Structure 1
Amino acid sequence: MRRAARLSEMRRRAFSPPLLLLATVAAYAAVRLADPQQRWAAIPVGGDRVEHAVVAYLLVMFSFVGLPRLPLWAPAAGLIAFGVLIEAAQALPGVVGSPQPGDVVANAVGALAATLPAWLARRRYEAA
């Protein structure tokens, strides 16, 4: 079996839509149970950052399913670059919002948290 076909099969198994849906529902339920009133200000490190990290994680995971031929690093790199552009745009005059470098860091943490296990699984799969 060709290497690309084996990687595609591995991604299909590891990142199947039902599994990602279950992970999304579990993440949402965990957040709602932890803070039913959505009082993110109570989180010392900043609730907005938690939201950024969770959304980045889910977007990268869904991109593995929807775009299986992309290299593993591409969705994370694209999402991080998009986050940088959004924060830069918020620094422009007349734009609502203010740039938050912490949002970029949270996006990067979420994107890399999704990419690292996929990369490790690919290495383990290729070694076998």
Structure 2
Amino acid sequence: MNYLLVAVTFVVLAAVMAGCAVLGTDRLIPGRKSIDAVSKDGVALVPAAEPPLILSDRPGADELERVRFATSALGYNRDEVDGVLAKVVAENSRLWAELEALRGDRGRDAATDLRGEG
């Protein structure tokens, strides 16, 4: 009699586990979706929790004030920060070149004084 009770318990337990696996695959256990999140070389891909940061070619002050970087366990996403800094440096250089071109030779001395290089 004890063996019958143990066998019925195992059958019920197996049925409950199979039901959870079949019915709750996408809700409780994201098994099918986790296969898509693994790249071909076996490294798990981290899904982007935030949309990518996209700046215009000539970011203005209002656009730069609205910049919010994605965060991870180690802090800000380095690629996003480097990209924003590169665009800001390029825009700054472009504006200084435009200012110097508008001022001509006389403006170069003034621009150098403004930059603090003179």
Higher relative contact order (CA 8 A, sep 6+): 1
Give the TM-score band, short-chain normalised: 0.3 to 0.5
TM-score, normalized by length of structure 1?
0.31
Higher-Rg structure is: 2
TM-score, normalized by length of structure 2?
0.33
